[in-house]
Structure 1
Amino acid sequence: MPGINNNKDKDKDKDKDKEPLPEIPIPVLNDPKPAPDRDQVVSAFKTLEPSRDLSMMTRSPCAKEAFVDGAAFGFGAGLLKAMKSGVGRPAANWGFGAFVLASIGTWEYCHYKLRQKRQLMATGQMPVVSTIDVDAAKRREAIAARQRDV
């Protein structure tokens, strides 16, 4: 008969040959996660040394640029907010918020540029130049120039 599916029995046989799908666990809402082990948290805080960590941060390649840009942007945003509203506290909040956002943005952009540069060096598209070699070459040139002048 036209329009009637005579292959129903064949479809049932195909379904029997297929393996059943694995059951996927359904996540329970508000499922409490196990609390982190107290000893691990305490030992992590014991490894912190603010004087060492802050001194190491200033040697980071992007720290100076990030903090200077953040401070300038924060000062400008706070000043503009103070000029507009004339109130000190909201202006300080805006300035601090702008400082944090600009510092993080500059830090991330600087690290992005460093990653790109390292990737180019790794692929051989950019020559690897040590800053120590460049500084030493500049010093040698300066000494040679002074000796010529004498």
Structure 2
Amino acid sequence: MSEVNNSPTKECLPDIPEPVLNDPRPAPDRDQVVSAFKSLEPTRNFSSMTKSPCAKESFIDGAAFGLGVGLLKALRSGAGRSAANWGFGGFVLATIGTWEYCHYMIRQKRQIMASGQMPVVNTLDVDAAKRREAIAARQRDV
């Protein structure tokens, strides 16, 4: 058996600080929160969402992935509610993932264009150049 050492020369353990439960930042003012919710306009905000880049592709990819996950879960386990939950979770994760990846690629292209490594090409100029070349080729053939 081990003996208990109660001598006065025994080292004490350091005090463990208690966790801080209160956030040191001030809580948001109620008026700020209310004004933020009042500034939302669902019809305008959600109708303009489809005009943003990557929106349509992200929702289509998310819906396809969520449907696939839900069907696989339903076939494997046979539980409808669980399959629906898995399908919705797959939809959300795939939509957010493809949205973020698409915006990442847009940022990469903008950085490359800003650094001057890739020239900015106007598609109208390219189309006009192709038309001029086609006209010149027809004139040579005649």
User: TM-score of the superposition, structure 2-length normalised?
Assistant: 0.72
Out of 36, 56, 64, the position equivalent to 1:72 is 64
Q: CA RMSD in A?
A: 2.6
Cα-to-partner distance string for 1:88-147 (whole Å, 9 max, x where unaligned)? 10000000000000000000000000000000000011121346x37x938x95xx99xx
The structural deviation recorded for 1:46 is: 1.1
Out of 24, 30, 36, the position equivalent to 2:21 is 30
The aligned counterpart of 1:85 is: 77
| Change over 3 Å in CA distance of 1:27–1:112 after alignment to 2 | farther
Q: How many residues align?
A: 116
Q: Distance in 2 between matches of 1:56 and 1:50?
A: 10
The structural deviation recorded for 1:28 is: 6.1
Q: Distance in 2 between matches of 1:30 and 1:130?
A: 57
| Change over 3 Å in CA distance of 1:44–1:27 after alignment to 2 | farther
The structural deviation recorded for 1:27 is: 9.3
The aligned counterpart of 2:41 is: 49
Cα-to-partner distance string for 1:8-27 (whole Å, 9 max, x where unaligned)? xxxxxxxxxxxxxxxxxx99
Gaps of 5+ in 1: 1-25
Q: Is 1:137 aligned to 2:127, yes or no? A: yes
User: TM-score of the superposition, structure 1-length normalised?
Assistant: 0.68
Q: Distance in 2 between matches of 1:30 and 1:88?
A: 41
Query: 4+ residue stretches of structure 1 with deviation over 4 A?
Result: none
